[in-house]
């Protein structure tokens, strides 16, 4: 069973992306969009889920999150964003 999810959120209003990982995507999504009172994601609401990847271990999820925050990963996010916007 896959317990961790790496997610990429997109803010259309501000054309921003955010990468994170969690064991509870729904809870985390509500936190980013409604409940949090400080931090990066508060400034760029509302967020949409743009991309998801599932992992069995926290270590795998953390490695993938780190990849998306690297230069090569940011380029991949640009491609994923273009596909997302084309389809939505």
Q: What pTM was computed for the model?
A: 0.94
Residue range 31-35: mean pLDDT, rounded: 94
What is 4-87's CATH topology?
GIY-YIG endonuclease (3.40.1440)
The DSSP element (H or E) to which 77 belongs, if any, is helix 71-87
Residue range 44-48: mean pLDDT, rounded: 97
The angle that helices 58-68 and 71-87 make with each other, rounded to 10 degrees, is 90
Residue range 49-67: mean pLDDT, rounded: 97
* pLDDT score at 2: 73
Distances (CA, A) of 71 to 25, 68, 78, 83, 87: 25, 8, 11, 19, 25
Assess whether pLDDT exceeds 70 at residue 1. no
CA distance 81 to 14: 13
Q: 55-74: b or e for each residue (b if 16 or more CB lie within 10 Å)?
A: beeeebbeebbeebeeeeee
Q: Where are the domains of the chain?
A: 4-87
Phi–psi pair at 63, nearest 5 degrees: -65, -40
């Amino acid at each position: 069973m896959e317990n961790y999810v790496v997610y990429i959120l997109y803010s259309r209003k501000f054309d921003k992306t955010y990468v994170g990982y969690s064991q509870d995507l729904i809870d985390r999504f509500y936190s980013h969009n409604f409940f949090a009172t400080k931090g990066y994601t508060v400034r760029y609401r509302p967020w949409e889920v743009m991309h998801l990847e599932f992992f069995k271990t926290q270590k795998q999820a953390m490695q993938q999150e780190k990849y998306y925050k690297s230069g090569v990963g940011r380029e991949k996010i640009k491609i994923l964003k273009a596909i997302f916007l084309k389809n939505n």
